[in-house]
Amino acid sequence: MEMGGKNLKCLATIAFICAFVWSFSLQNCQARGGKHWAHRKTGGYRHGRIHRHRGGSSSLGLTDSGHVGSEDVVGASLASKGDASKGGSGNFNVLDFGAKGDGRADDTKAFQAAWESACNAEKSTVEVPSGSEFLVGPISFSGPNCKPNIVFQLDGKIIAPTSPSAWGSGLLQWIEFTKLKGITVKGTGTIDGQGSVWWNDSPTYDPTDENLDKESSSRKLPSTKPTALRFYGSDGVTVSGITIQNSQQAHLKFDSCTSVQVSSLTISSPGDSPNTDGIHLQNSQNVIISNSNLACGDDCISIQTGSSAVYIHNVNCGPGHGISIGGLGRDQTKACVSNVTVRDVKLQNTMNGVRIKTWQGGSGLVQGILFSNIQVSDVKTPIMIDQYYCDGGSCHNGSSAVAISGVNYVNIRGTYTSTPVHLACSDSLPCTGVTLDTIQLEGSGRSNEPFCWKAYGELKTSTVPAIECLQSGNPGKAQSHNSC
């Protein structure tokens, strides 16, 4: 009985092994058959290839039968993954739209075409690649119907034409971004205005310009000089990392913009290049400018009417005319600037340090201003309020003025070459609420004493040099009812 049980167990084991071997052989045969099927289908895939379009987009090709094959879907999926690693179909390289990038051929149309494609794709990127130099004429990258959050990735170099024929009778800007929601210009590239031909006011024959005709070689550039890069009517603007150099006039302008961030920007033009402001703000709110180096022939930063909630920090300025609010109120206009903070700034070899300038006869208000932790080196006049500003020519006297109140100077140190403090306020509307705290300024060579006229406020600490001309309290005359 025991021997019979053992025989039954052996038979069961043998049967199990045979069944396992048969099952494995059947699966292997099916797998080989499947490979032959796949091979036959792959042979037909050549007729259903992926078609690649400019800008990285793709469409599925049809098979001979007119249907999209399953392999097309798989191929498209793999292609999409490959594109996604490069930013997907939202990347539009200007080279793919016909740009030459040799610094001689006119690439304006290619840039415009790349922008038009990017405009229709949300979170898209226009790519200006490194290693190329693009000659681009006056151009506007316009909304308001573009998708939001477009990135202009500038890693190459864009240069302006020097031929008069490219500018007509004169334009206010060269490169413009207008009426956009969420626009970023960033990268390691350069915008070069080639402005020397404008500054010198000389004939502009340039043998390297292929677009220069014989007629234009005998002409001069128009008297209206353009801003190199302008943003207008846009919200959520970011400019980061790029260099703007040798602008025809102002380098970077924000007009009627909100939520602006500028960082790691380099601006570079000679100190004697006329009217080449670094950054110009007008009618713009909630602006942050930080960690930037600005060298130009006018104000490093110019803050004009309609600007408020402006925060500037960790900026180097020089050469240039310093950091200025104004000039405001020209031609009897109303001007309003409020809530401006400038701190942790270095100014070297500039005409002014931190300045407020207004024209006689204007109206409006400047209030809530803080200049803090300002380091000056060989600056002509580190602290200035000038309510008698006149930019050349003959200026008329006026009894009205843009009112100035609540201006605070804290921890301003360094060296000056002319006058340490110049506070020239209006006879009819004296400055009020001016405070000076921790001012230590040393003259280099022969220098003037601090000057004050109709300036009222408070010395928080003793100063070097002693500033005895600031009057305490409030002026006897009633303040204007200027409001903003």
For tokens 């001007």, name the residue. Answer: 335
**Encoded tokens for 142:** 């316009």
Please return the burial class of 155, using the count of CB atoms within 10 Å of its CB with bins 0-12, 13-18 and 19+. Answer: middle
The gap from C-alpha 182 to its chain's centroid, in whole angstroms, comes to 12
Q: How far apart are CA 453 and CA 427, in angstroms?
A: 8
Phi and psi angles of residue 274, each rounded to the nearest 5 degrees, phi first: -75, 135
Cα atoms found within 13 Å of the Cα of residue 161, Cβ hemisphere only = 23
Structure tokens given for 235: 């919200």
- Determine which one of 298, 299, 386, 422 is catalytic: 298
Judge whether 298 counts as a catalytic residue.
yes
Catalytic residue flag (residue 102): no
Separation of alpha carbons 172 and 165, rounded Å: 16
Which listed residue (251, 280, 321, 422) is catalytic? 321
What's the distance, Cα to Cα, between the start and end of the chain in Å?
Answer: 113
Nearest to residue 183, comparing CAs of 233, 136, 226? 233
- Which are the contacts of 294, defined by CB distance < 8 A and separation ≥ 6? 265, 266, 267, 278, 279, 300, 301, 315, 316, 317, 320
Cβ neighbours of residue 474 under 8 Å, at least 6 residues apart? 432, 456
Which positions are catalytic? 298, 321
